[in-house]
Amino acid sequence: MKKQAVIAGVGESSYHVRGRSPDSEFQLACTAIRNAAEDAGIALADIDGFVSYNDQRNDPLRLARALGIRDLRWAVQSWAGGGNNAAHAVQMADAAVCAGYAENVVAFRALAQGQFGRFGQSRGGGRTMDGDMAWKAPYGLLSPAQECALHTARFMHDHGISQEALCDISLACYANAQRNPRAVRYGQPLDREKYHASRWIVEPFHLYDCCPENDGASAVVVTTAERARDLKSKPAAILACAQGLGPMYGSSAFQPRWIGRMYYDNVGRSLWERAGVGPDDVDVAQFYENFTGPVLISLCEMGFCKPDEVEAFVANGALEGPDARFPFNTSGGNIGEAYIHGFELVVEAARQIRGESTCQIADAELSLVVSGPGYAPGSALLLAKT
């Protein structure tokens, strides 16, 4: 019989405004992993796999030494992009555990942008840029915010979507973060006036459409359902994961047939097919929001509504709080809780299944993570009560 994998433990470091972490990125990673193992009731020495994504700087060999790992059997990370692969990290842990390559695999993300520089800033110090950047950088198209703005502007134009829909995404994240003492934005509520008064970063994104830059780390322990029965924590079953490789990457994403899209129809199709459920069955969802606009696009592409319905779908507080019509980013997400490249969303999705969220919905049976619209490959994860 095929094995069933579960998230048996979750953990995180404290989260900080960029540059304010007293610990190094590597120390943050170790803290999150130790907390996840402790939560699961698994000895650090029994961890036998590490999975991460997108140029993770904290390599598995250094982690293994620091954490006293005896037998590292599975160490991989995803291709390309950024937070798009948070769910895929869990997928790779799931694959390893279900196939029997490893038994206690940690999926994690750590970043300290204060220590290592900022993702949103151009790293171009030289006079020229090559490869795909040669098509973009000479025109001042440099950052993920700017690329997502081009897609969002077209999506808004095509479907008559107003700035209020973007605002509603940000307001929901901020509202939910006010319930979460871990959140970097805890105690800093946002309202519609403040949103509109904030400066433009790149139209159509105001300051509050963009997630902040943070220092922190989060991690989960993936193991078999069988092993989890002997552990102390409440597991969340990994019902399905999916990674979707659309043709969207770099400047090719701006060709007329691709612009305004995020390729989550691919991801959604795989996810729903594998899980044997559909969007209507989802109880609570965490959508990666480096910027608000791509959330609107991925909500549609994942099958929750049509593009001409999405403004109404998110309006009037529909995403805010535990009694939301569509419970969404319940920890505050990248915008409100912390930008840990979307991995904090995986932790929150598991907490909802365990009944331990600071914005806990009633009877969470199916908990969704949609990772990183904005860059291919995208990925998604569906957790269920065991």
Member of 17, 76, 80, 137 binding another protein (CB under 8 A): 137
Give the length of the chain: 386
Binding region for another protein (CB under 8 A) out of 10-18, 65-73, 118-126, 231-239? 118-126
Burial of 1 (0-12, 13-18, 19+ CB in 10 A): exposed
Query: Which residue, 184, 236, 167, 174, is CA-closest to 340?
Result: 184
Q: Are 236 and 383 in contact (CB under 8 A)?
A: yes
Tell me whether residue 339 is one of the annotated catalytic residues: yes
Identify which of residues 283 and 289 has a Cβ nearer to another protein in the complex.
Answer: 289
Least distance (Å) between residue 302 CB and another protein: 22
Residue 367 structure tokens: 């908990």
182-212 as b/e: b if 16+ CB within 10 A: bbbbbeeebeeeebeebeebbebbbebbbbb
Which one-letter DSSP state was computed for residue 80? Answer: S
Q: Does 160 bind another protein (CB under 8 A)?
A: no
x-or-dash string of contact with another protein, 173-212, rule CB under 8 A: --------------------------xxxxxx--------
Active site residue 186: no
The tokens for 196 are: 């509109």
Q: Which of 15-23, 93-101, 177-185, 245-253 is the region at the interface with another protein (rule: CB under 8 A)?
A: 245-253
Judged by beta carbon, residue 82 or residue 268, the one nearer another protein is 82
Residue 153, token pair as written in the block: 């502007």
Q: Which of 15, 53, 208, 339 is catalytic?
A: 339
Among the listed residues 59, 71, 132, 309, the single contact to another protein using CB under 8 A? 132
Identify the bridge partners of residue 328 per DSSP, sorted by sequence position. Answer: 285
15/263 with CB nearer another protein: 263
Of 55 and 132, which CB lies nearer to another protein in the complex structure? 132
Q: Of residues 15, 53, 186, 288, which has the active-site annotation?
A: 288
Nearer to another protein, 122 or 386 (CB): 122
User: In whole angstroms, how close is the CB of 86 to another protein at the nearest point?
Assistant: 23
Phi and psi torsions of 351, nearest 5°: -60, -35
Per-residue x/- mask for another protein, residues 251 to 280, rule CB under 8 A? xx-xxxx-xx--------------------
Rounded Cα–Cα distance for residues 234 and 368 (Å): 18
Cα–Cα–Cα angle for 50, 92, 7, rounded to 5 degrees: 75
Which phi and psi (to 5°) does residue 284 adopt? -155, 140
Q: Is residue 386 close enough to count as binding another protein by CB under 8 A?
A: no
Among positions 21, 143, 176, 214, the unique one binding another protein when judged by CB under 8 A: 143
Among 17, 66, 98, 141, contact with another protein (rule: CB under 8 A) = 141
Q: In this structure, what token pair is assigned to residue 128? A: 């020229």
Nearer to another protein, 88 or 261 (CB): 261
Residues 6 or more apart whose Cβ sits within 8 Å of residue 305? 299, 313
Residues that bind another protein (CB under 8 A): 120-122, 124, 126-130, 132, 134-143, 145-146, 149-151, 153-154, 157, 199-204, 250-252, 254-257, 259-260
Catalytic residues: 288, 339
